[in-house]
Amino acid sequence: MGKIVIRVPATSANLGPGFDSIGVALHLYLTVIVEEKTEKWRVNHALGPDVPNDEQNLIVQSALAVNSKLQPHQLTVMSDIPVSRGLGSSATAIVAGVKIANELGEMDLSLADQISAAAKIKGRPDNVAAALLGDVVVASFDGKDATTIKLNMPENLKMLAFIKNEPILASESRQLLPDNLSQKQAVFGSSVANVMVAALATQNWELASHLMERDQFHEAVRAKLAPELPMIRETAHQFGIYGTYLSGAGTTVSTFGTEPQLIVLRQKLMDMDVKGSLRIFDLDRQGATVNAE
């Protein structure tokens, strides 16, 4: 067997009220090249000392979780995705591992099975489903099986991501979440999410973008992680741009818009001297790909 090249897109999850259930794929990638068989797993990368170079690497761990009998190989890993910033870096590693298990183990897993396997490792389906399918994906996971619907974001949309300089672990961010919500708040949050999904499905972006800013599940308690969120949202509103929300665990603030809109917004935020990077991303419509060389 020659080399196998796996490419997995970054993702932004928790689209507004779609907490732990809605994600969108971005034109920003993790690439894994599966090379020759080896006695032990070797993972070559330039991602820093915190990322293991052996079978403790999350990619390998995920592959072995799906198929424990895999022969070790050498992997070369390249990534453009900032780690622990709310852009699905761990989800891309998990999805790459599932793809590796499927290819090397000749498992012939369906996409639905791959999503369920990845969600089981991750513990939730939003990022992994979007990374596997591309575009925007609505997902549910019962602990065993994931159920997904892929929708289409409007063709002219891009995303402006304000990425803070400091990482935060999802596990730390999750500790801020309340164990319980009042029934009134839960029903309202659920209804907003339902209508937002219906708006996306019927291509009513104006309505969807407004509802995207009405989360009831996590933004309020995670506000101290990203105090820039209200400022970015209010600045976007000055230009008639809606669709700003807290991405993933909370150190990235995402805003959807057309490229001309986002260029103007980015310049305004740069003039306001926000502390972090401001990057405009295309959306990935295809999801993870596997190519044999």
- Indicate the annotated binding residues for ATP: 82-92
Residues 6+ apart with CB under 8 A from 247: 12, 13, 14, 86, 87, 161, 253, 254
Binding residues: 82-92
**Can you say how many angstroms the Cα of residue 63 is from the centroid of all Cα atoms in its chain?**
19
- Give the closest residue to 257 by CA, choosing from 233, 229, 273: 233
What H or E segment, with its residue span, contains residue 291?
strand 289-292
3-class SS of residue 36? strand
Give the span between the Cα atoms of 133 and 115, in whole angstroms: 9
Q: Give the three-class secondary structure for 247.
A: strand
